[in-house]
Structures are given as C-alpha cells and as structure tokens.
Structure 1
Amino acid sequence: MNDCIFCKIIDGTIPSIKVYEDEHVYAFMDITPLAKGHTLLIPKQHVKDLFDMPSELAGHLYSVAPSIANAIKTAFNPKGLNTLNNNGAAAYQSVFHYHLHFIPRYEEDGLTLVWEPIKPEMAEVQQAATAIADALNA
C-alpha cells in the first residue's frame, strides 16, 4: 500500500530500528515507546487487521511472538509484558496495518490499562458463547 507507514518501513522508504526479520514478518522498535524495549511485530504482507489476516500468516506471526517476548525479557528484565493489538478504529487502531505491540512492564512504570467490566447474567455469557461457537462452525 502506497500510503501505509508500515509498508514504507518494510520497503525501506521510512527508516526503522530492526530487531528481527524473516520472509513473512518484521519486528522493530516503536519510535513512540510506552516503555524501554517497546517493540512492534508486523506482517510484511499488508493486512489491515486481525480480521483480515490469513490464518497461515497469523500462525507464523504468533509463532515468532514468544521469541520476541523472550528476547525483551532477556535484554531488559521487565517484571511483566503486555502484548496488545487493536483492531478497528473503535478499538483505537491508528495504523491500519496489523501490528502487535510488546510493551515491557516495570515496577511503578506509570502505565495503566483501565476498563470497567460489564456485569452480564450467566445466561447472557452462555448466549455469547453459543453465538461465537455457531459462527466458528458455520
């Protein structure tokens, strides 16, 4: 895609600080990091989001993810690690090329992930599970 910042990173039009690359995926440092070691993992193929990603590409990307996470753990010894992916504008996706954030977490780093859970009845939870299972089996 001509106007995709991540496609431009992959083709070298925009510079990046690479940490990993193979035939299908590319990992690089986030230039607006939330913490030391914040890394992004993207497919080289332009895929808008997880909804559009072919399963074989997702399988490869997620097979690389533990190696990236463990490299961050070895390099920086964080106390934890968030992996984060946003799909669609309503989920705060801002770059419409799939990307998985690896955000190392440190004691008192000031980062918060705050949400207010809904409180459904168990019947509603069961209905949701049935709808998802039905969609998977369709």
Structure 2
Amino acid sequence: MSEPGRDADCLFCAIVAGDKPAHVVFSDETAVGFLDTRPVFKGHVLMVPREHVETLVDLPPERVGPLFERVREMARAVEEGLPAAGTFVAMNNRISQSVAHLHVHVVPRNRKDGLRGFFWPRQKYADEAEAESYAGKLRAALER
C-alpha cells in the first residue's frame, strides 16, 4: 500500500522517502533537489515536489509558487556554487519525461558550453566522490 501523496512505483517518490539513494542537495517540506544521474553538465539538479504529481498541471495551484521559490533558490545556488555563468531551467510534461513525477531541471550553463537547442549531450560523474563534491558545493551555496 502506498503512502498518501506517494506512488509506490515512482523512483522519485522513493528518493523523496529516502528509500533510494541520491545526492540530495536540498530538502524541505515542499520539495527535494538532487543531482541528475545523467547530467547535461555536472551540477545538474532535479527539483521535485514531495507529493507525487505527474505534471505541472497536476500540481495544485497553491503549491506552484512554493515549488518555484525553491527552484529559483536552486538556480541561484548553481550559479554561485559552481563555475556557472547562468542556468537553464526546464521541465517536460509527459513527452520526454523520463520519470512520471513532476521535476524541474536546473542546469548550469556557460558560454560556448556546447549546448545547442534541445539536443543535450549527457555526461557522467567520474565516481560517487565527484558527484558528492558537486552536491556539497550546491548545499553550501544554498546556506548562503
């Protein structure tokens, strides 16, 4: 039986609940932010609402503002905590949504970083230690 607001088959619900490992960089009563395991660029964060909703349209209107306040803060942290001149903030709804749980991508950007349109080259962290170092930089920036 699934907990209220949680889908037992959802990977992101399992991460939110602490049942699956992730490099969490932010967590409060509204949202959880963690590193994407297949980042466009290192430091790419996924921000998800704690409750299971599939798309932005499914998110209750009173929760949109609080979620995007956290996304805004994460965008600031990515710019301040990493060598990033800016960010790309994006969301897919159903099409190209690899996990059916609302998530907002906060991707670090720099001039001439190679990102062209929506053809995103993916990178890998060298190892868990490197991923954790990026997560730590973002946690530190969120505390500023």
Relative to its length, the structure with more helix (as a share) is 1
SS in 2 for 1:42: strand
* Correspondence for 1:6: 12
Q: Percent identity?
A: 37
Moved over 3 A (4+): none
Deviation string, structure 1 residues 58-102 (Cα, Å, up to 9, x no partner):
11101112211111111113122110100112xx11211000000
The higher radius of gyration belongs to: 1
Aligned to 1:56: 62
Aligned length: 113
Aligned mates of 1:56, 1:45 — CA distance in 2: 13
Give CA deviations for 1:14-62 in whole Å, capped at 9, x if unaligned: 1011111111110111111110210010000000100111011111101
| RMSD between aligned residues | 1.4
Name the structure 1 match of 2:102.
Answer: 98
Deviations 1:95-128 (A, max 9, x none): 110000001112322221159xxxxxxxxxxxxx
Equivalent residue number for residue 107 of structure 1: 111
**Structure 2 stretches lacking a partner, 5+ long:** 1-6, 120-144
Which sections of structure 1, spanning at least 5 residues, go unmatched? Answer: 116-138
Distance 1:37 1:114, change over 3 A: closer
Q: Distance in 2 between matches of 1:63 and 1:17?
A: 21
Q: Which residue of 2 aligns with 1:65?
A: 71
Query: Relative to structure 1, is the Cα distance of residues 64 and 4 closer, same or farther in structure 2, using a 3 angstrom cutoff?
Result: same
Q: 1:80 maps to which residue?
A: 86
- Aligned-partner SS, 2:105: strand
Q: Map 1:120-135 onto structure 2 (within 5 A).
A: none
Give secondary structure in 2 for the equivalent of 1:83: strand
- Separation in structure 1 between the aligned mates of residue 30 and residue 86 of structure 2, nearest angstrom: 27
SS at structure 2 position matched to 1:66: helix
